[in-house]
Structure 1
């Protein structure tokens, strides 16, 4: 099962050239870029580890790609994502997020549906390693 989180997750993996184009798009809108990684892709895991500090005031995607290469080297079997952060007052939120690295073998996540009181339905997820 392929983990589908963030933009572009239903597409084939982006090449470095395509990643660079997306980072250029983000930088053209003055969004800050951050890298995060995790080995736990559970849908409820929203707290990924941050790689370095967010990159404010960048003008060129090359800086992001250098950091991405370092993160990939240090965490080859992790999920790595790029977050674009809009720091304009009133927004101040992640505007774009997409996965740029996946482990060679992705864990499987099984979803279980259980009917409970009345017409309520509960869903649980299990990671199968």
Structure 2
């Protein structure tokens, strides 16, 4: 093989427009097909063996405490620390605490303040 023919093999060549478009569309169709079959599962059961101590602990905790549902509400605005807003927030927190399916409600108006003292600590409402 001569040097000229070797350089011809290594020289970059352009594809025709139809071939290039066909390749691009084919790659996208294949990627879309594979993406439709993709399953995203970030559950610990996927990563931890069934008989591992961590998996056993997880199952025992779920048996004892099946629901770990939380509801978090964030408020924003210029007057969120005004007396009227905090009073309304306190009323909402009290009504939520009275609901039979609600265990605890934490809010700025209902949370405890824990402070150290000389002989221990004190727990007071904020």
Higher strand share: 1
TM-score by length of 1: 0.23
TM-score by length of 2: 0.23
Higher helix share: 2
